[in-house]
Structure formats: structure tokens, C-alpha cells
Structure 1
Amino acid sequence: MRRLLLIDDDEQLAAPLAAFFRRFDCELQAATTPSAGLALLRAGRFDAAILDVMLPEMDGFALCRTIRHESDVPIVMLTARGDVMDRVIGLELGADDYLPKPFEPRELLARLQTVWRRSGDRGTAAAPVPAADGRVLRFDGLVIDLDRRQVLRGELPVELTGTEFELLVLLAREPQKVFHRDEILERLRGQAAEDLFTRAVDILVSRLRKKLEPLDCIKTLRGVGYAFAGGRP
């Protein structure tokens, strides 16, 4: 059974949402304040955290930043206005997806299932990459294990969110191919991209580059898109 953590100060939201998720073998626990939510998160393992943007004590963005510093649990942000900047900021801080309020529980479930498919199993210790495997992409200073969803920069594991990993794999599977922003967003989200949200791709690339430093294997073609430029060993 998957365990979900909802942090939302709307006390009327948790009960019907929990009842809905039970039908799909998911247990939902709820907290109405960030401090209570963080305590639950630190006390037990969760498969996803669902955060409202408008919260007491600290807003959802600050809470997302705090969680991301401590955990790589998948995060879905709830934005009351569906504001584009809310969504972009949430992605920039490490959220895996966003959903405007009001929302249908089935859509939230679908978003979570998509995040889980992208993320694979998280929180497991890094295992050595096998010496020879068709499911391993190898470049100078970088190894990408597709089955373990593990990335090594030199000998060091790189902690990526599910979306960051999928972006890296997308680019690395076809080195030197230029991917347009809309194409990247469509491939990652599995649906047609909206021009308003293509900035999210720039944010994801920026985060990924920082985690891969000092490697410089993602190139920008100004006004066009991105390409992977890692050399083969």
C-alpha cells in the first residue's frame, strides 16, 4: 500500500480524499500545518507529499524547499489560482508536478501515478553499476543506470528527482540531437506542451546542470533547445 502525506490547512479536504485513495490501495495521512506535516514526514516513509501553496507558518514553496533539502520524496504542489508563476516556482524548488485547485481526485491520482512511473523506487542505497549492461549509458565521467535509476558522476552518486532523471535519460539516449523545449515538455509530461510552461524546461535543465557539475554535458542552442554533449569513454 502506498502512503501519501497531504499538507493542507483545509480541514474538509482530507477525509473525502482519503476515502477516494483507499479505493486504489493508498493510505492518506493529513496535516494542516507545515510543522505537523514535517514531523510526520520525518517519522515515517511516504511515497508522495501533496502540498498546498497557501499554508500557515510558512507557504508551500518554503515547505517544498525544506522537504527537498531532507528528502527526495515525490512532491505534487496544489496551486489555488493555477497561476503560471506558482507552477514555475514550485518546479524550480524541486516539486515533481503541480495541480491547480479546485481539482478532481482522479486527476490528482493520475498525476501521482505519472510521477511514480518517472521516479521509480526512491530512497534505496546506491548500488554499484555492473561492468557491462545494455541498460547502462556510459560517458566520460558519467554513468546512467536505467534499471536502478542511478547516476554516477565519477564514483559519486548523483541524487536526482524523477523528472530530472527522465530529462537526463531523454537527452543522453540521443547525444548531439537537439530537443526543442516543447518537445522535452511533451515527452516528460506525456501530453502536448503549452507555451506558457516551457520555462519549466529551462528550470529543470538548470537544476540538472548544477547537480552534474563540474561536468558540462548539456549544451544550450539559444532560441532552439538543448542537446547532450557527453563524450563516450
Structure 2
Amino acid sequence: MGVYFAELCIEVMSVVNGKAVILIAEDEVHIRNALQRNLTQAGYEVVLAVDGADAIAQFRAYAIDLVVLDILMPKLDGLQVCRLIRQKSDVPIIMATVLGSPSDRVVGLDLGANDYIVKPFSSRELIARIRSILRRLSPAGRERSTSQVNHLPVVSVSNLILYPQTRKVYDSNTSIRLTEIEFHILYLLAQSPGQIFTRENIFQRVWGYTHDADLETKALDVHISRLRTKLDTSTVQIMTIQGRGYMLLAR
């Protein structure tokens, strides 16, 4: 795999016309072309890769702002590409997975992917995710986020303690490692134990965009499931309220 990656620190091409550059790594030509057309219309520069090895080559050649990475690709799969990119860069990565592969989603998140999207998905949903991530990572977004975080209080529920400034979490005095998204979901629920948060509430306040029927995904379910495996259930429990949403309860 190293032969594909070589030295990532070579000189890269500049962003064209100040537009964010999105790398789409997708081996299915009709999906690849449709995404290129729609993202271009949305105002992005698009770089295409037809397989995993090509994705690494294109990532080396351009100043990429965000990667959309299909998992099932020839030569190198998306998980291998994600692992290689993370060795050298913290560029945002959205993994594209098929509905029946929850293990791939978990592995992708563990490898450092920022988010994932389930196939088949609409360009509208993907663009919403891209805009949300790039907005958070822009200088203004980082400054606003840092300012907001600095004013957020430490939150405790039973033996669970969350520190927003450092994103540290302790459960019964044991440190818990959470992804950024997992922390924000848990912090939101922990601010109001016993309160039901709808999926729409969570998508708006954590992902930063409105969730509706046209943007239905299973991303939230996977993050909730992962949180449940990491938390001490004798301390707190994340409850699913059928047809309404989620809430955190102290045990």
C-alpha cells in the first residue's frame, strides 16, 4: 500500500477560484458522474477517482478539502484509503457504505472518518453533509465553535462527567474515548437528562442541518449504538423512545 501513497508532502495544486475541492472516490461510473455534476452545480470543484489507488494519487496531486470515499472499490478499498490518508492528513472524510454493512461503518469511524452516508443516497443529502462539515472547519466556524465551547459548562449525570473544552469524558472515574460526533450527541443528551430529543433536534444541533424524510439515514442509530457500548450501563442509559427520539437516564 505504501507504493500508492509514497510521499504525501509533495507540492499540491492550488484551489481553483477559491472553491472547496471535493475528491469523489467511486468506481461506479454513473454514480461518479452524477455526483460530479451535482456538486459542481452546488459550487464545488470536483476531483474524481475510479478506484482506491487512483484516490490516493488524486489526493497527492490536489489540495483536497474533503473526501467522499466509497468503501467497496477495487485495488484499495475505502477503509484502506481512509487508513492511509489518516497517516498523513486530518482532511474530512465521508464514507459511503451500503445499507447492509454496519461493521464497515463502525470500522470507518474508528479509522477516523468524520461521517458516513448510506447508499443509495441523494446528492441533496451529501451536499448538506459536506456543507455542514466544511462550515464547522472554516476559520469562522472554528472560531465560533471555540468561543461556544469555552462558554459551555461541565456536565455531570450520575457518575458520568463531560468536559466540553477538552472533549474528555469520564464514566465512574474511567476515561472514555469518543469521536467528535459521539461526544456532541452525548453532551446534548446529558444537558437535559430525562428529556426526549427527536431525531430532528439531534441532526440540527449536532450535524448542523435540518433532517427530514428525504434525508433519512441510519447514521444517528449507529452513533447511538456505539455510545451504548462505551457507557457504563449501571451509571446512565440512552433510551430509545419509539417514534419520538432518544433520552439519557441516570441509573
TM normalised by structure 1 equals 0.59
| Aligned match of 1:125 | none
Structure 2 vs 1, CA of residues 133 and 172 (structure 1 numbering), >3 Å: closer, same or farther?
Answer: same
CA distance in 2, matches of 1:201, 1:16: 23
| Aligned match of 1:190 | 210
CA distance in 1, matches of 2:179, 2:222: 14
CA distance in 2, matches of 1:47, 1:40: 12
- Is the contact made by 1:141 and 1:153 (CA closer than 8 Å) also made in structure 2? yes
- Is the contact made by 1:8 and 1:33 (CA closer than 8 Å) also made in structure 2? yes
In the alignment, which of 155, 164, 171 is matched to residue 144 of structure 1?
164
Structure 2 vs 1, CA of residues 6 and 89 (structure 1 numbering), >3 Å: closer, same or farther?
Answer: same
Gaps of 5+ in 1: 123-128
Match status 1:8 vs 2:26: yes
CA distance in 1, matches of 2:221, 2:213: 14
Q: Output the amino acid matched with 1:160.
A: T
- Is the contact made by 1:219 and 1:226 (CA closer than 8 Å) also made in structure 2? no
Gaps of 5+ in 2: 1-18, 139-145, 204-208
| Aligned match of 2:65 | 47
Aligned length: 204
CA distance in 2, matches of 1:229, 1:102: 33
How does 1:1-233 map onto structure 2 within 5 Å? Answer: 1-10=19-28, 13=32, 17=36, 20-21=39-40, 24=43, 26-41=44-59, 46-60=64-78, 62-63=79-80, 66=83, 70=87, 73-78=91-96, 83-86=98-101, 88-92=102-106, 93-94=108-109, 96-98=115-117, 100-101=119-120, 103-104=122-123, 106-117=124-135, 120-121=136-137, 133-139=150-156, 141-145=161-165, 151-153=167-169, 160-161=179-180, 163-179=181-197, 183-184=198-199, 187-188=202-203, 190-192=210-212, 200-208=219-227, 218-221=236-239, 227-228=247-248
**Percent identity over paired residues:** 23
| Aligned match of 2:3 | none
Q: Offset of 1:56 from its aligned partner?
A: 0.6
CA distance in 2, matches of 1:35, 1:76: 17
- Is the contact made by 2:82 and 2:93 (CA closer than 8 Å) also made in structure 1? no
- Is the contact made by 1:164 and 1:204 (CA closer than 8 Å) also made in structure 2? yes
TM normalised by structure 2 equals 0.55
Aligned to 2:45, what secondary structure does the other structure show? strand
Q: Offset of 1:204 from its aligned partner?
A: 0.7
- Is the contact made by 2:189 and 2:247 (CA closer than 8 Å) also made in structure 1? yes
- Is the contact made by 1:18 and 1:29 (CA closer than 8 Å) also made in structure 2? no
Q: Offset of 1:136 from its aligned partner?
A: 3.9
